[in-house]
A = this chain, B = another copy of it.
Amino acid sequence: MRQVYLDYSATTPVKKEVLDEMLPYFTEKFGNPSSLYGIGLNAKSDLSQARAKVAKLIGADEREIYFTSCGTEADNWAVIGTARAKKSKGNHIITSKIEHHALLHTCEYLEKEGFKVTYLDVDEKGRISLEELENAITDETILISIMFVNNEIGTIQPIKEIGEIAKKHKIWFHTDAVQALGNVPIDVRELGIDMMSMSAHKIYGPKGVGALYVKKGVVIPSFMNGGAQENKRRAGTENMAGIIGFAKAAELAGENLELHRKKISELRDYFAKELTTRLEDVDINGDMEHRHPGNINLTFNYAEGEALLLYMDARGIAASTGSACSSASFTPSHVLRAIGLPLEKVYSSIRFTIGDFTTKEDVDYAIEEIVKIVEKLRGFSAFNKERTW
């Protein structure tokens, strides 16, 4: 049976070129970059080249890239680090209602410590209001953290404008760019970003490695205490193979960005158009103008999400209800709720993400199968046009 993976936002396979670069670091090149002998010093120099490659993808300087174990760690570090660094200035953080749990749960953790957090609303397309953002700023505000691209509905926030507001008020601006990296052009200087979270496994790199961009002059304490790695800002023996893989993935992402965007957005548009025309009562969630090029989030009214996923899985099609991290917890998506979807629509929504290995044939197959599945499930659903909760 054909296997069609349409969940590139959950994670991506590692590209062959990436894995090839990683392999020597498990065996011959296994040195610890903190060691003073040959294989250690070589590792150190390779580490700095890797840093430069990641930096290049986002227009940063090599010394502004700190490798972490994942996007989640980068988010935790940026927010908790700012809270610790700026506690004498204030205790107020502004974020949005549609952030990833890595951000939201970190904010909740700080709230228990007494920090105040404003969770900005978003409109029905998932964008925050710049006016509300500016109104939310107080003398106590130490951080604005707004995600670049949402992981469920793919909405892109007005990052540059947020950066300008942050700068005007002299507040640090962090953005979770885990879904943006490699999918939208990013220039941290031009966008006025002070800190930015990234993760390798969303751009065809390995799982278990991420990075935090920290602008020169922005100083936050370590999140991981210990050895002097990462210029003393992130302890722990470096995940060399992972970092090398991340760097190669970043390099490829930079080289292919326009092609990648064009290819996946065309397939995505075709996919969405076919499903919304061939099936009745299918809604598109999010914003078609400001959107991740591979993302489409659809509500198949009256058909339940988990049932849809499992039927699709049985036909070899992989997609998800919202973020992978919460799919096992069966809680209705906070993102879809925030854009105003009633619960029954939330329960009927599926995120598809097209990626570099998706073909036209894959998409055609998926369309055929999904149409059949939706019709089958609707056939014995307790809900329909007339009846819902």
Contact = CB atoms under 8 A, between A and B. Distances in A.
A227 B325 contact: yes
Nearest to A317: B37
A341 B39 CA distance: 30
A138 to B, nearest CB: 24
B327 A26 contact: no
A32 B13 contact: no
A34 B313 contact: no
Nearest to A25: B207
A379 interface: no
* Number of copies of this kind of chain in the complex: 2
B14 A32 contact: no
Interface string A46-90: 000000000000000000000011111101100000000000000
Contact of A227 (B102, B108, B225): B102
Given A227-B101, A228-B329, A236 B30 contact: no
A34 B325 contact: yes
Interface string A160-174: 000000000000000
Contacts of A236: 69-73, 102
Contact of A35 (B35, B68, B207, B318): B318
B237 A324 contact: yes
A323 interface: yes
Contacts of A242: 207-208, 239, 242
Given A13-B27, A70-B236, 17 more contacts: A11-B237, A13-B30, A34-B324, A34-B326, A35-B318, A69-B239, A75-B226, A76-B224, A108-B225, A109-B225, A201-B237, A206-B241, A207-B237, A207-B239, A208-B237, A228-B329, A235-B325
